[in-house]
Amino acid sequence: MNTTEMKKTKEDKSMLLPVLALRGLVVFPGMMLQFDVGRKKSILALSKAMEDDQLIFLVTQRDLSDNEPRQEQLYQTGVVARIKQLVRHPEDGVRLFVEGLYRAEMTDEMHDDPFLLAKVTPCKLIAYRKTQRGEALIRYTQNLFEEYLQNYSRIPPDIIVGVVQKKDCGELADYIASNIMFDFEKKQMILEEPSPVKRLNKLVDILKNEIQVLEIENQISEKAKEQIDQNQREYYLREQMKAIAYELGEDDNPQEEADTFRERIAKLCLPELQEKKLLKECDRLAKLPFGSHESSVILGYLETCLDLPWNTLSEESINLDKARKILDREHYGLKKVKERILEVLAVRKLAPEIKGQIICLVGPPGVGKTSIARSIAEALGRKYVRVSLGGVRDESDIVGHRKTYVGSMPGRIIAAMKQAGTRNPLLLLDEIDKLSHDFRGDPASALLEVLDAEQNMAFHDHYIDMPFDLSDVLFITTANDFSAIPEPLADRMDVITLGSYTHEEKFHIATKHLIPKQYKKHGITPKMVRIQPAAVHALIDGYTREAGVRNLERQIASLCRKCAAKLVEDPETRITITQKSLEPLLGPARFKNDDLHKTDEIGLVNGLAWTSVGGEILPIEVAVMEGTGKIELTGSLGDVMKESARTAISCIRTRASSLGIEHDFHTKYDIHIHAPEGAIPKDGPSAGTAMATAITSALCRVPVRHDVAMTGEITLLGRVLPIGGLKEKTMAAYRAGVKTVIIPSDNVPDLAEIDSVVKDSVTFLPVQKVDQVLEAALVRTPETKAGVVHNSTGVLPVPAGQPATTAPSIPQ
C-alpha cells in the first residue's frame, strides 16, 4: 500500500490507516498517553505509520484474551492519533507516546497481514451549544468529581485543575473519562456517543455509581478497622473479605447450611439414635454465628458422619471356581492355604448370615499374606481397604479423638470405612503383631471391640460418638509372629499359617510371576532378555536366603536394570543370562552351601531355631578344657537358653558312668558352649537336646553326624519335651540339606502340617529320651570304662572302632 493510497479518498474524508488494537485501554481525543506495545502485528503497524505521516488508528478490542484480533473482534469507534515518540526496547518491545486527535470509525477492512489496515472515517459529531442546562450539567459534573475525589484521593492535582477549566460538555466528559479508573467498556460507551450533552450525562451516571462503590469500600474499611488491632494485618484482611461478602450478600448462611445437612440426613434413612444426634448438631450449627470456631468443628463433624456408608452395601458373589482360579493365578503353591480359604468361602456361601469370622494370616515376610487378602477381596467382589498397624501405639489411632479437641479426627477403622464407601468391604489389618503400647493407651485392647462379632455391630468411635455397624465387614489380619499378638486378641482370630517357600516353589514363582513382572516394569520383553532356568536356580541358592521371595525379586530387578543399560547402548543385542553370567552382573554369590559341615565334627551339633522370618539352622559348639569347672555361655544367649545349657550339663552328669565320662568332670574341666553369629540374640528351650549332644560329643571325643539336625527341650531326667515351630524348623533343615531330623515324640502329630517335599527328602526320628538322641546323632556309642585316662590336652579320649549306629525312622 503506497502513500497516496493512505491519504484521503476522493469520494469522502476517509483514510487508509494502520490499526493498533488496544487491550483494556481506551484513548480519547486530546489525550496524551504513553504505553508499551509488544505484539508483532502492532509493531509492524507502528512502523508503517512512522514511514508515512505518523497517523495511526487506535481502537479497543472486545476480548482481552484474544492475541490476534480481527476487525469483527474490535470496536468500530476509536481515535485517530499522532505518534509523538517511539522508543524501541532491547527485548523486542516498543514504548509509544501518542496524542489522540479525533474520533473515527472503521468503515472497511483492507487486510490484516502482516498488520491490520482499515478504511477510517471521522465520526459525525453534534456541535455543542452553550445553554443554561448545559452550564448546569457542567457544574453538577464538576461537583460530582469533587465528591469522587473525597473518596478516591489518588488523582494528580493537574487533572483537578484541568477539570475546572473545561467549559464544554464533550471535552469535560472526554477529559474526566480519560483520567479516572473504571471499566474500559464504560469508557468505550462514552467514546461512541456523538452528542456532548448525552456523553456528559452518561459520565454522570458512571460517576454516581463509582462514588457509591467507593463509599461502600470506605464503609467496609471502617467496619474492619473497628473490629481488629492495627498491628494484626492478616486478621484485618480477613475481616475486609468478610465485610465485602456481607455487602454483596454472598456470605455463607449457617441456617442454609444446616438445612442442606438436614436434607442429606433425611435421604440416608439412618437409625433413630444416629438421626436424632445429627439433627441436634444441625440445630446447633444454625444458631452459631458465621466464622466461629465451633461452627467449623460442627461442619467437619457432619461432613465426616454423612460421608460414612451407613446403608451402602456392595453385592457379594461367592463362586468357588472363580475364587480358585484367582488364587491359582496370583499365587503358586500354598496348596493347604488355598484349600483353607476356599473352605471359608464355602461356609460363607452356605451360611451368609453367620458373621464375625476373623481370619489371621501368619507367616514370614514375603510369602504373600497381603496379596492373598487382595485376591480374596477380588474373589468375593468386595472393596479392598488396607490399614497398616505397624508401630501404632496410641489407642486413638483405632478409636479416634473426641471432636472437641483441636485437630481431632476419626480412627483408622472409621477412616477405612469412609474410604471403602461401602458397609461390607474386606478390611485388611496389616502387621497386627507390631502393635505396641505406652502411656497413651493400648491399641491392641482397642481392637478387641473391632474384632468381636458380639461388639462390633455397635462399634463406638470417639469422634463420631455414636454406634457404627461393622458386623458386615470381613476382617483379615496378618502377622509374622503369632505369639506376639496379645492372647485376648489372638483368641478372636482363626489362624491360617503360610510357611516358607521351598526351592522348587521359589523357582516356579520366579519364572511364572516375578520375572514377567520385572520385564514389564523395566520395559523388557522375553525376546530381548532370557534368563535360563539354571541361572534362576543359582540365583535362589547363591544370592538369597529367605522364607519369602522379596529378595529374589530384588535380585531379578537388579538383573533387569543391568540388561536395560546394555539394551539402551545397543538396541539390537539379545541377552541370555546363564549361571556363569550371574557373577559378572551381581558379584560373587553371597551364600554358599556351607550351612552343614561336610565332615563329622566333635562338639558341633546342628540345632534348629524358629525366627519371625522362618526357620534356621542353629549350630551349637562345645569345647572342653582343663580348668576348675567353669561353664562359659556365649553367643547372645537368653536366660531360657542359658538355663537349658545348665540343665543339659546336669543331665549328662547323671549319665556320666554309662557314657564313659568321669563323675567329677564338672570340677576338672571348663565347658564353653557357643552359638555362632553372636550378634544375633537367641533364646528358647528347644536347643536343649542339641546342647546335651554337643557336650557329650566333646567330653567323649565322639564326632556328631554332620547330616543330622535336632530340636527338643530337655529335662534333668533326660526326657525330651515338645517344641513349637516344627514346620519352619524342618523347612530350614530341608534347605540346608539335612538328611535326618530328630524331633520329640509329642511333636509327631505336627508332621501332618509338613510340606510333602520336605517329607520326601528328610527322615524324621521321634525320641522320648536323650539316650535315643545320642544314639542317633553320635557316629558311635561312647564306651563305658572304669578309670579313664586323660591326655595332656585335658580332653577325654574314647577308643575308636565302634560301628556307627543307624537311627530308626518312622514311615512317611
Q: Which residues are known catalytic residues?
A: 686, 729
Task: Kindly tell me the burial class for residue 223, based on how many C-beta atoms sit within 10 Å of its own C-beta (0-12, 13-18, 19 or more).
Answer: middle
CB count within 10 Å of CB 46 equals 22
Give residue 93's identity as a one-letter amino acid code.
Answer: G
Least Cα distance to 119 among 32, 220, 11, 36 occurs for: 11
- 554-575 burial, b if ≥16 CB within 10 A, otherwise e? ebbebbbebbbeebeeeeeeeb
Residue among 617, 800, 582, 630 at smallest CA distance from 706: 617
Other beta carbons less than 10 A from residue 538's beta carbon: 19
Closest CA to 767 of 713, 803, 701: 713
323: enclosing H helix or E strand: helix 320-330
The cell for 129 is 451549544
- Identify the residue whose cell numbers are 570340677: 667
**Nine-digit cell at 694?**
554337643
What's the CA gap between 31 and 101, in Å, rounded?
Answer: 8
C-alpha cell at 98: 501518542
Distance CA 124, CA 28 (A): 15
**598 Cβ neighbours under 8 A, 6+ residues apart:** 706
Residue whose cell numbers read 508499551: 36
Rg (alpha carbons) of the chain, rounded to whole number: 46
How far apart (Å, rounded) are the C-alpha atoms in residues 383 and 427? 8
Closest to 556 in 3D by CA, of 584, 537, 536, 583? 536
Rounded CA-CA distance 593/580 in Å is 17
Kindly state the cell numbers that stand for 208.
454516581
Residue 746: strand, helix, or coil: helix
**CB-side exposure of 308: number of CA atoms within 13 Å?**
26
- Residues 389, 435: contact at Cβ < 8 Å? yes
DSSP characters over 147-205: HHHHH-----HHHHHHHHH--SHHHHHHHHHHHS---HHHHHHHHT---HHHHHHHHHH
